[in-house]
Amino acid sequence: MNPVRNFPFTHEMIAALDPLDAVATLQRLPELNQRSDVRGVLGLLQGILPKLGLVERWDFPVAAAAMRDIGFFLGSLKRHGHEPVEVVPGLEPILLALARTTQLPPRETLLHVTVWNPSAEGLERRYTCCRDEVHLLESVRISMAALESALHRTVELYDVPLDSTLFAPMCEDIADQLRKMVDSIVYAYRNISPRTFMQELRPYYEPIRVGGQSYLGPGAVEMPLFVLEHVLWGSRSEHQGYKDFKETYVPYVLPQFRAVYGRFSGQPSLLDRVLDEAGASELLTENHRRGLKSLDRIFEVLLRFRAPHVKLAEQAYLAEREAHAVGSGGYAPGMLDELLALTREARLRLAPVSRAPAVGEEPLWTRNAR
């Protein structure tokens, strides 16, 4: 199956699956975690673990749903100080088999715990009894499918000429979908206590080791926004911190998005291509101007998301500065400041081109020569 084209349908389909018959079992997990009952957590996990031979016959949706349900136990065991594969016999080959089928890491990711996790009361899987966790999961669900659609649309836009009548409407469509990212950060700001996040939720997102490698816990940074920005403006950036950041999280997005990332790495970004096209035109047409204005609107929406995201992260990590030097996705919060600055720099590249003369106006070089 191809989980790229119809994002909401794919997410809903996986969320509805229960291949381990684990709904009732997982409803007991938060209370055991609250009591730090490791023996109880182990007993529940061992009760739902499938046979390896069965796992190896599953397709993508079933394997993704199974990894979701096993994954909540992985984060729980690590929160209580245990490496899951060291304390659960037979677990590691099951995780590796699920990873081969889904082409995702051998543990739960942001996808598993949010959009592949049913939101209905009595069905939603959680690590904790904390109400803020419900809001945390919902904050991602608000925007994930829209973001994935915006990324797909951005790839399509890459091949549309700036002076095409299609360019501006496609930019507006992308900007509209990205506004869901703004909605999600506003929702998180209003409903999730930074201190509660750090003290109650953050400990469940620690890295675990599987197959001799370390894999990061779920984090909002695993959303494919960084892939969209890679296509939009960052594919040829030489900023080493930014390059390392992207390479760290590429394994945690859908394989189709990893392919997009690889396709554009080292190639001109959409912004590069647009600036080259505008620069090659002595005079800008009305389509050029509409296209540049609409492209700028995408950057405007991105910055409306990034600026409050920085503030939210700062609040969280000021609350527990000594406890955690990195975010739940394994990155230093200061990287968000870098991303904000890089996005602003990219947007500024549009300004000089937007001031170029339009058809019917006197070219700048003749005006400057007087």
Q: Which domains does the chain have, with CATH numbers?
A: 10-128 (1.20.58.1320), 135-354 (1.20.58.480)
What dihedral do alpha carbons 137, 138, 141, 142 form, nearest 10°? -150
Report pLDDT for 332.
57
Phi, psi of 351 (to 5 degrees): -60, -50
Cβ-count burial 8-43 (b if 16+ within 10 Å, e if not) = eebbebbbebbbbebeebbeebbebbeeebbeebbe
CA nearest 109: which of 209, 244, 249? 249
Structure tokens that stand for 283 in this block: 């005079």
pLDDT for residue 214 is more than 90: yes
Q: DSSP for 125-168, please give it.
A: --S-S-HHHHHHHHHHHTTHHHHHHHHHHHHHHTTS-TTSTTHH
Report pLDDT for 354.
67
Report pLDDT for 357.
59
pLDDT tens for each residue of 192-212: 999 999 999 999 999 999 999
pLDDT tens for each residue of 330-351: 555 678 889 999 999 999 999 8
Distances (CA, A) of 246 to 70, 83, 156: 27, 26, 21
Q: Are the beta carbons of 251 and 330 closer than 8 angstroms?
A: no
Structure tokens that stand for 303 in this block: 């910055």
pTM of the model: 0.91
At residue 326 the predicted structure's pLDDT band, cuts being 50, 70 and 90, is low
Report pLDDT for 95.
98
